[in-house]
Structure 1
Amino acid sequence: MAEVTALRWESLRQRRSPHDFIIEPVEADFTDLQLAIDVDGRLHLLVAVTADPPSLPPDLQSIEVRLVEEEGRTWLDVTARSHHEDLFTMLVNKILYAILVDQRDPATSVEATIDELRAALRPVAQELGVGEQVGLFGELWVLSNILFPSLGSRACHLWSGPLGERHDFVGGVVHIEVKTTTKADEKHEISRLDQLRAPPGRCLLLASVQLERSIAGIATIATLVDEIIAKLGMDGRAIDVFDAKLKNLGWHDGLRQTGSLLRFNLRDAHVFKVEGTFPRLPDDYVPPRGVTGIRYTIDVAARSSLSAPEVEAILQAM
């Protein structure tokens, strides 16, 4: 495969005149791919296609794709300004490799290569803060270790925390709220007036997850994500749902390589049934007029938690 270089572009410039569109095949014996420089100095790669593609890649700041008709043939005209020559040359060579070496469809090669470049230039998503990572870790741990053994891949469809609902997991009969802390005690902050209220006819469980944050920790959000995807196996629908909900919470794979990804060890985890004397505001509590938000702290250290068989029996109704 002939590689396009700065010398190739310079050769075309030397032949340019104020009124000519200078064009030549990328390879002498293959006319479906053409290089060109127009009178304004713009660089072009012309890719012959047998039919109009259903859509064209959106323009980048420096690179455009247009459909043109020349000499009775249809071409994708990939073009850039001359001062973006280095970037454009890299793009051209990747397109040529996809077509000439990988034998991919020309229109698909252009679109896929530009999409890849667009993704590489996209701003990095904002990193998750400490509190966000602690909370997400707790929800993922409960999903993988409490719900999945009883419900299988259906558990991913019940994960409602990323959707901004009142409780983190919502089933037809059972709701689960997850509270995660890295503190030494078993206290949790309740951030909504109705967070420890079960809807009529529903059972509410509180999962208390206690973590130790450590540079020697054996688990991260990434390891839990991988663990859950492995458990989902070939259930593509559940994997898509899981991935979409992770993105809603700000997770992206780029965080795996950042120094901001926290490491944890699990200290303990308990599940409580929220009923009777469980510490919370009473269901009929009405805040004073003008009070629009309430935060309070509960201590579950003295509460009796459910056993694993009891939790499993409740989840079967979820």
Structure 2
Amino acid sequence: MTPAELAERWTDLASARRSSSGMERRRLDAAAAVDVFACIFWPQGRAGLLIEGDGRASDLADRVPRCRGVRVVVEESGAGATPQRTVLVIMLEQERLREIFGVLSADLVNAIISEPSGPAALRRCIDRLCMWQGLFERLAPEGLSEERQRGLFGELYILDQLFLGGENLLAGVDSWVGAESSHQDFRRGGLAVEVKTSLSKRHSRITIASEKQLDERPHVHLLLAHVRLDESEGLGTSLPDLVANVRNTLSEDEPASRLFDERLLLADYLDVHAPQYETRYRLTSVRYFKVEGNFPRLAEWNLPPGVGDIRYTIIADELGTWEMDSTSVVALAGETM
């Protein structure tokens, strides 16, 4: 089920309005372990989902998240019956979030129908809603800013170059942890890599977001990757192009593909925004620096007492002493597989 297919169901249901109250619904997958319906709720004509299956709501109700612009209701039906039935209603309340809600709903449907039993499907639905709660709090309806597009472009480039060259693609994707609030963008084995992306026409200063970002102590090796890009008219690669390239690399590995799409969501990348990401980039340079010894950085271990939550810059052109060639970096990444 794709967001576009789900949007078509909602449009058809809205055009077939038969009453001024209640809802119109259409089953989405007859083979699923639970009943899953696309719905339009009247009188406001709000889009949503109805999920109903065997199982009790008592262990789910306390975990139901509150998502901005989305109403979630959990009810038990058939009191005293065996088995009991649980009903989940998920309804859009802010129309400006309709495209994002379509992505959320399609994700929920795909997660639910993959489960073998009703209770498992209901739990999976709540689990996914909990993940989406954080996304809805920070996602902008207009998509990623130019700066965040560049940052994600740099991370995906490094993912492709360093971590997807071996046979274990799932482990490669799993190394991308920056979207999970890690201090570095990539971690695998004893290796951590922090990626910074900037435009070539700007100065070579690199902004470090915290005293933990370049703290090498928890790792065997900590690398700083500096990706420099030029914006290109008509030529080069857009962010959606690069996403498509990585998906093509992972296309034969379903678990890796699924995990990659989940990590994209955590990075606030939604396919519905892809047409807006028109900027194309040409790679100017990629430099790798090993953070060790006298590398210029501020970390917890060298800060004065009482100082924390810092943000500072370093100058990339003055880091030559710690630079590693790309061949050595690729080999180092391969050793951690």
**Which interval holds the TM-score relative to the shorter structure?**
0.5 to 0.7
C-alpha RMSD of matched pairs (Å): 3.7
Matched, 1:174 2:188: no
Letter in 2 for 1:293: D
Match of 1:122 in 2: 98
Unaligned 5+ segments in structure 1 are 1-34, 67-114
- Per the TM alignment, residue 41 of structure 1 is displaced from its structure 2 partner at its CA by 10
| Mapped partners of 1:45, 1:127: distance in 2 | 30
Q: Number of aligned residue pairs: give it.
A: 228
Matched, 1:55 2:35: yes
Match of 1:253 in 2: 271
Q: Can you list the C-alpha shifts for 1:1-28, whole angstroms capped at 9, x where unaligned?
A: xxxxxxxxxxxxxxxxxxxxxxxxxxxx
| Mapped partners of 2:278, 2:220: distance in 1 | 36
Letter in 2 for 1:122: R
- Per the TM alignment, residue 295 of structure 1 is displaced from its structure 2 partner at its CA by 1.0
Contact 1:220 1:263 (C-alpha < 8 Å) held by counterparts:
yes
Q: Can you list the C-alpha shifts for 1:35-77, whole angstroms capped at 9, x where unaligned?
A: 9978x89998999xx99x94252643336999xxxxxxxxxxx
Q: Give the secondary-structure state (helix, strand or coil) at the position aligned to 1:166.
A: coil
Q: Give the secondary-structure state (helix, strand or coil) at the position aligned to 1:128.
A: coil
**Alignment CA distance shift 1:288-1:312 (3 Å):** same
| Mapped partners of 2:256, 2:159: distance in 1 | 13
When the two structures are superposed, what TM-score results if normalisation uses the length of structure 1? Answer: 0.62
Match of 2:280 in 1: 263
Contact 1:179 1:188 (C-alpha < 8 Å) held by counterparts:
yes
| Mapped partners of 1:222, 1:37: distance in 2 | 41
When the two structures are superposed, what TM-score results if normalisation uses the length of structure 2? Answer: 0.58
Letter in 1 for 2:181: G
| Mapped partners of 1:209, 1:250: distance in 2 | 20
Contact 1:208 1:270 (C-alpha < 8 Å) held by counterparts:
yes
Q: Can you list the C-alpha shifts for 1:163-203, whole angstroms capped at 9, x where unaligned?
A: 11011001121001101111433321001111001243521
124-133 or 234-243, which deviates more? 124-133
**Alignment CA distance shift 1:178-1:150 (3 Å):** farther
Letter in 2 for 1:174: L
Contact 1:218 1:264 (C-alpha < 8 Å) held by counterparts:
yes
- Per the TM alignment, residue 288 of structure 1 is displaced from its structure 2 partner at its CA by 4.7
| Mapped partners of 1:46, 1:210: distance in 2 | 49
Higher Rg: 1
**Alignment CA distance shift 1:122-1:198 (3 Å):** same
**Alignment CA distance shift 1:293-1:226 (3 Å):** same
Letter in 2 for 1:245: R
Residue 228 of structure 2, aligned match among 182, 185, 210: 210
| Mapped partners of 2:26, 2:246: distance in 1 | 45
Paired-residue identity, %:
27
